[in-house]
Amino acid sequence: MKSCTWFLAALSLTAIQYAAEQPLTPETLRKNALAVIQPLPQQMPGAEKDSPTLVALGKKLFFENKLSANQNQSCNSCHSVEQGRGGVDNEKTSPGAFGKRGGRNSPTVLNAGLHFAQFWDGRAESLEAQAKGPILNPIEMAMPNEPEVLKRLQGSSEYVDGFRKAFPKEKSPITYDNVANAIAAFERTLLTHDRVDDFLSGNDQALSAAELGGLQNFLTLGCTTCHHGPLLGGNSFQKIGLVNAYEDAEDVGRYSVTKDLDDKFKFKVPSLRNIALTAPYFHNGRVATLEDAVSSMAWLQLGRELSSNEKSSLVLFLRALSDKDRSKGRSH
């Protein structure tokens, strides 16, 4: 009787494991995914108030080299949105106006208006607050002060006219706040569209069978503990090295902002949207490939060593999160 009970229990366990390993139907997988991942919205918060004139001014400022001390650096230098780029420069850390590099990897500006805070340490609460930082940062764009920024813009008849049209109710519209307001308005247009959203919205053919398997692994291996919501991240801070210690103990992350010991080595969880376009990875850019980033995260945050099949399927799914136009038109 004892051996019979053991046999039935083992048979039951085997059946459960077998069922868990089987691919789900697209309908069931979609339902499971929508419980933790949502499609991106059609518009970023605040975009409904942005006039086309303001967006056009912001786009011009985003590409404007005059906003850097030696006039050879723009926002787009570190956060390139041209030629299918992922809103980054694909550098480990970015060179500033005079060649000196910052200490952190440049985050993407794509979908940035959906993040709950800006920068790796969350020190800026909005796109507008973020836009003010790099221009005056001595390593990045290195402008000495706000008046010098405004002086350069006021010396351009094109900008005098552009600010007047974008802020028609203001007597003196060229202000540092309005520089940031305009850049933020342009960045709110950088919303992406990928095949995962097509699948979540009901298109069963949007993802291949292998990509669906990657989504299933993403949902079951523990990735959604941190990477959930419309951005699959971008909505919380988390310690890097949650289970296994991370090798770099120099950058203390959010602790540098809050001075709260509980925030030591915590960073904003990056969005996985367009992740295949934004190598290298992590706050310090030390991980070169998406495959290595997946393996490292599984070990550091989950304490798991992924099989080759698990890793390859996750990477396939993550690549499907690339903006359709950018992944199709990117120059290599």
Catalytic residues: 140
Spell out the residues 6+ positions from residue 54 whose beta carbon is closer than 8 angstroms to its own.
Answer: 166, 167, 181, 182, 185
> In a 10 Å sphere around its CB, with 0-12 CB exposed, 13-18 middle and 19+ buried, how is residue 312 labelled?
middle
Report the distance separating Cα 177 and Cα 268, nearest Å. Answer: 25
* Beta strand residue intervals within the chain, DSSP E: 237-239, 266-268
Residue 274: closest CA among 215, 186, 219, 194 = 194
Signed CA dihedral, 297, 292, 134, 154: sign only: negative
Residue 317: closest CA among 328, 309, 305, 325 = 309
Report the distance separating Cα 255 and Cα 252, nearest Å. Answer: 6
Report the distance separating Cα 102 and Cα 11, nearest Å. Answer: 57
Report the distance separating Cα 186 and Cα 164, nearest Å. Answer: 17
Report the distance separating Cα 39 and Cα 33, nearest Å. Answer: 10
CB 37 within 8 A of CB 224: yes
CB burial of 270-283 (b: ≥16 within 10 Å; e: otherwise) equals bbbbbbbbbbbbbb
* Beta strand residue intervals within 82-241, DSSP E: 237-239
Give backbone dihedrals phi and psi of 249, rounded to 5 degrees, phi first. Answer: -110, 15
